[in-house]
Amino acid sequence: MNNPKIVFFGTPEFAVASLDALVSNGCDVAAVVTMPDKAAGRGQHLSQSAVKKYALEHNLPVLQPEKLKDPAFVEALSGIGADLFIVIAFRMLPEVVWQMPPLGTFNLHASLLPLYRGAAPINRAVMNGDTQTGVTTFMLKHEIDTGDILRQEKIEIGPDENVGSVHDRLMELGAELTLDTVRHIAAGDLTPIPQDKLMEGLAPTPAPKIFKEDCRIDWTKSANEIHNHVRGLSPYPAAWCDMKLFADQAETATTVKVLETRMSEIPDLVLAPGELALYGKRAYAGTKDGLIELLLVQPAGKRPMSAVDYMRGLRIGENGRSPFFF
């Protein structure tokens, strides 16, 4: 089959790159399925998904079902007569949908499956200090992220790289892999590989959704663990901690996001976990096993700023120490 008819399922910007690769290379994208418009902002105006905006700009038909098992939606989808479905950053599809096309349904996942099955694979890989990640295309089956693998591509993760940078690189790599997978499916020369054959006796790793409490910094952990935690959540949703402030003999607390850190060693400076200091015109915090340099922070209700400027605003003088993060 030279050019299979495709229905594309996706919602965020991560999916747009793959959709654009398909459209720009002449693939037959017959329709796009995306989330219903949602009210957003103070005015609660309806907001379109990134995928919908792209589809409308390129005159692609758009379906926005509230429920994926809705008979009217299933009938409309069936009426398109697609050969192949592609799913990227979308909801879990019911069997009645993913079994519909004769060539099947494949998903693009931002990890090297069976590593990091779940909703937050990029964040979890960086938070865990992995030096390598990648993208995988695989055929859908009943259990989430467990289907047979079609293609994979790897990238290296830099020691100071944050999740935003890794996300953007995987988005572009994923677009290339999606197009490559379609071409191989059309040529009929792919042999899907069951994930258990790649596990070599190891259990698959989970990548659960990230909640606010998952982002809290634990200053009693090692400097390396905290550094990975910060970059694995930067720029969004961002690692955070509470900070004690003292004014007029009264203690208050505020929340501070930590957006960028750097591993540092200063032999003659010792700080307790969470204690802050300005030293040599740089900002440091204590951890379980030494110091970590703070580069970029965001106090509650303010824009991101250098950690040095923030600490000077707290009237911490050069070589002075502060109250604690906690």
pLDDT tens profile 87-112: 999 999 999 999 999 999 999 999 99
- Residue at 153 is within a domain: yes
pLDDT, mean of residues 282-303:
94
- Of the residues 197, 232, 247, which one is the last residue of a structural domain? 197
- Of the residues 167, 197, 227, which one is the last residue of a structural domain? 197
51 has pLDDT over 60: yes
Could you tell me the residue range of the domain that residue 317 belongs to?
212-324
Contact between 101 and 7 under an 8 Å Cβ cutoff? The reply is yes
Would you state the pLDDT for residue 20? 98
Q: Would you tell me how many other CB atoms lie within 10 Å of the CB of residue 58? A: 13
Judge if 256 and 296 occupy the same domain. yes
Would you state the pLDDT for residue 62? 98
140 has pLDDT over 60: yes
- Residue at 205 is within a domain: no
Judge if 169 and 44 occupy the same domain. yes
Sign of CA dihedral 8, 11, 14, 19: positive
Judge if 148 and 265 occupy the same domain. no
Q: In the structure, what pLDDT confidence band is assigned to residue 243 with cuts at 50, 70 and 90?
A: confident
133 has pLDDT over 90: yes
Would you state the pLDDT for residue 209? 96
Q: In the structure, what pLDDT confidence band is assigned to residue 322 with cuts at 50, 70 and 90?
A: low
Q: Would you tell me how many other CB atoms lie within 10 Å of the CB of residue 263? A: 14
Would you state the pLDDT for residue 250? 53
Lowest mean pLDDT among 7-11, 79-83, 189-193, 280-284: 280-284
pLDDT, mean of residues 273-279:
89
Chain centroid to Cα 27, Å, comes to 27
Q: In the structure, what pLDDT confidence band is assigned to residue 318 with cuts at 50, 70 and 90?
A: low
Environment class of residue 137 by beta-carbon count within 10 Å: exposed (0-12), middle (13-18) or buried (19+)?
A: buried
Q: What is the CATH number of the domain that holds 318?
A: 3.10.25.10
292 has pLDDT over 70: yes
Distance between CA atoms of residues 179 and 63, nearest Å: 22
Distance between CA atoms of residues 4 and 237, nearest Å: 38
Domain count, the chain: 2
pTM of the predicted protein model = 0.93
pLDDT tens for residues 214-231? 999 999 999 999 999 999
